[in-house]
Amino acid sequence: MPRYKMTIEYDGTNFCGWQKQKDGVSVQEKLEKALAVFAHEKVEIFGAGRTDAGVHAYGQVAHFDLSKEIDTFAAQASFNALVRPHAIGVLNVEKVDDDFHARFSAIERTYIYKILNRRTPPVLDANRVWHVGLPLDVPSMQKAALLLLGKHDFSTFRASECQAKSPVKTLDELTVTKRGDYIFFLVKARSFLHHQVRNMVGSLVQVGLGYWTVDDFHEALHACDRTKGGPTAPACGLYFQSVRYE
């Protein structure tokens, strides 16, 4: 059976997340319905990451198998027509080797988290950033972020419902950059725990607000206890940026 890879962007505001749910509209569900109409087959689509409700994507990757060959250019156009009016855009469809798997073949995932740091709430960026009205100390957050690089037990930043077998992960990159009123967190790793990025950002903001020192942040990390961590940052500021494969 031929296998196809697709790259997708979406605004997660009105979705219950990537994965199909009994209650709520998911990105996966809408794409599978579009594929069924186009290919006249009921097929499951597998994503590289299971983004939560309200989380957005610039470059989610997924794959699916069909019983026949398709024109990838026509498939892309059909997907984009059939998912309307939902906020999903299929950026590319291409045929791949049978052993490609959107999730298990990934060697690095990149997320971006956006904060709007000003007194005035967002208007044009509503539901697309975390609005923090008090000034944030970016240099202190940058110092604290360096403590997260490398291999750690990230239990402090792990959601209670996380199904990962181990809390130990290796964080390859975490940068904190300020551009005007915006603060961007760029995070890279092979894989993440449930809510790990949002919990790390929420804890870094505790440092930025002056509620924690960098040493406090260090102690929270090594406590390996979710109750010692900061609040979970809102889903609206998180974006699935890209996936890297061999």
Q: 53 near 17, Cβ under 8 Å?
A: yes
Report which DSSP code applies to 181: T
C-alpha to C-alpha distance for 145 and 73, rounded to whole angstroms: 42
Please give the distance of CA 39 from its chain centroid, rounded to a whole number. 29
Calpha distance 217→207 (Å, rounded): 7
Give the three-class secondary structure for 178: strand
Which residues, in sequence order, are CB contacts of 109 under 8 Å at separation 6+?
Answer: 48, 49, 188, 189, 190, 191, 192, 240, 242, 243, 244
At residue 106, φ and ψ (nearest 5 deg) are -70, 135
Residues annotated as catalytic (active site), given as ranges: 52
Q: Which of 184, 57, 180 is nearest to 114 (CA)?
A: 184
Of 1, 3, 80, residue with least CA distance to 37: 80
- Cross-strand bridge partners of residue 152: 169
DSSP string, 188-225: EES---TTHHHHHHHHHHHHHTTSS-HHHHHHHHHHT-
